Amino acid sequence: MTNTHAIVIDKVKESKIAKTDFDNLTFGKTFTDHMLECTWRDGEWQSVEIKPYGPIEVEPSCKVFHYGQAIFEGMKAFKDATGDVFLFRPEDNWQRFNASAKRLAMPEVPEEIFMEGLKKLVALDKDWVRYGEGLSLYLRPFMISSENGVAAAPSTEYKFMIIMSPAFAYYKGDVRVIIASEFSRAADGGVGYAKAAGNYAASFYPNNLAIQEGYQQVIWTDAASHEYLEEAGTMNIFVRIGDSLFTAPHNDRILNGVTRRSVIQMAKDHGIHVEERRISVNEIREAAKDGSLKEIFGSGTAAVIVPIKGFKHKDFKYELPQLDDSYASRLKEALKDIQYNRAEDKHGWRVKI
């Protein structure tokens, strides 16, 4: 860190950890003792503060409330059997964070602020990272426009922050989906590839409609024709037809998921034929009818890999077969073995704290 970006640490007087029920956590509701905050003002980043987790004070005219300049990342820290703590591919998240910032006319966060701040924050609260199957510490870097005023223009001030939450598995129970034939997540030339807060807000209404029909999520299709699969809820999507694995290609509508890229590499490592190409709804329906559709699963940081048990598209319904050795389970275990330091990390994805 440079002197300009020195990290100032204000530790809590007493940790909340002893009062935290780790056996009954709700995802994203419990937060660690500390958070990171850094302000961009007068064209430059100010000093980095790590301080007790708590409210921030903003005025009603704060621009994030009016024009939605807000981005975030989802990351995790893992603890191995010896007590060491690791991040998983954090530089990929930093790079994607800045790609999102650029698209929303926000300042990019220097590597020394993002990476060094993140490492010091996790190190300070490392006791919150619990060891065990499915346990992790969910990390949420985010940035908001914090200038006061309602003029429709990019903000002149921003807050970059990181908060952290101990986590169990994100999804529980079976997941069935509706393949969208009306609503879309993103359009050409938009912000679909960015982790912009508004992308998720716009998905809530169609997802609520799916829940009313007894489904848990929506598989998004392209805005132009609704003929091609794009994402599965808040996750990237994978489809297995026969012995081949397919995933929608990264473009300006589809998030370039870190877990997605990891799954693709894991599949190649396991000798699975994997292709990044457009997957049509008709192809899925025909594969379901002739029995060659074996699996559909989503991938993402919070959930890692989530098998989809069945889907509905208009009047067509289909239940996926139960497989003893699915690609989803095989790849999820291989990925977790790297994250929890149980296997060789030949791709250099782990970063030790």
| Residue pLDDT, tens place only, 60-98 | 999 999 999 999 999 999 999 999 999 999 999 999 999
Beta bridge partners of 180: none
Grade residue 3 by pLDDT with cuts at 50, 70 and 90. Answer: very low
Can you give the pLDDT at residue 4?
54
Grade residue 170 by pLDDT with cuts at 50, 70 and 90. Answer: low
Listing DSSP states for 127-161 in one string gives GGS--STT-EEEEEEEEEE--B---SS--SEEEEE
3-class secondary structure, 261:
helix
Residue 39 has pLDDT above 80, yes or no: yes
Do residues 20 and 127 make contact, with C-beta atoms less than 8 angstroms apart? no
b/e code 79-91 from CB counts within 10 Å (16+ = b): beeeeebbbbbbe
- Tokens linked to 116: 């060094």
Query: What does the pLDDT average to over 225-243?
Result: 94
**Range with the poorest average pLDDT among 31-45, 268-282, 300-314:** 300-314
Q: Which sequence spans correspond to the domains of the chain?
A: 7-168, 176-339
Can you give the pLDDT at residue 134?
86
Can you give the pLDDT at residue 168?
82
Taking alpha carbons only, the member of 13, 17, 28, 56 closest to residue 302 is 28
- CATH architecture of the domain covering 176-339: Alpha-Beta Barrel (3.20)
Do residues 141 and 162 make contact, with C-beta atoms less than 8 angstroms apart? yes
- Reported as type and span, the H/E element at residue 163 is strand 157-167
Grade residue 250 by pLDDT with cuts at 50, 70 and 90. Answer: confident
**Range with the poorest average pLDDT among 146-155, 167-176, 191-200:** 167-176
Alpha carbon separation from 156 to 57, 64, 80, 251 (Å, rounded): 17, 12, 42, 30
3-class secondary structure, 27:
coil
Distance of CA 136 to the CA centre of its chain: 14
Taking alpha carbons only, the member of 8, 195, 11 closest to residue 116 is 8
Taking alpha carbons only, the member of 142, 145, 137 closest to residue 162 is 142
What is the average pLDDT value for the chain, to the nearest integer?
Answer: 94
Grade residue 6 by pLDDT with cuts at 50, 70 and 90. Answer: confident
> In angstroms, rounded to a whole number, what is the distance separating the alpha carbons of residues 190 and 251?
10
Taking alpha carbons only, the member of 148, 147, 143, 193 closest to residue 163 is 143
What does the pLDDT look like over 276-327, one tens digit per residue?
Answer: 999 999 999 999 999 999 999 999 998 889 999 999 999 999 999 999 889 9
Q: Are the folds of 7-168 and 176-339 the same?
A: no
> In angstroms, rounded to a whole number, what is the distance separating the alpha carbons of residues 209 and 181?
13
> In angstroms, rounded to a whole number, what is the distance separating the alpha carbons of residues 276 and 237?
11
Residue 110 has pLDDT above 50, yes or no: yes
- 3.40.718.10, 3.30.470.10, 3.40.50.11740, 3.40.50.170: which CATH number matches 7-168? 3.30.470.10
> In angstroms, rounded to a whole number, what is the distance separating the alpha carbons of residues 277 and 40?
39
Do residues 293 and 287 make contact, with C-beta atoms less than 8 angstroms apart? yes
> In angstroms, rounded to a whole number, what is the distance separating the alpha carbons of residues 126 and 65?
33
Residue 29 has pLDDT above 90, yes or no: yes
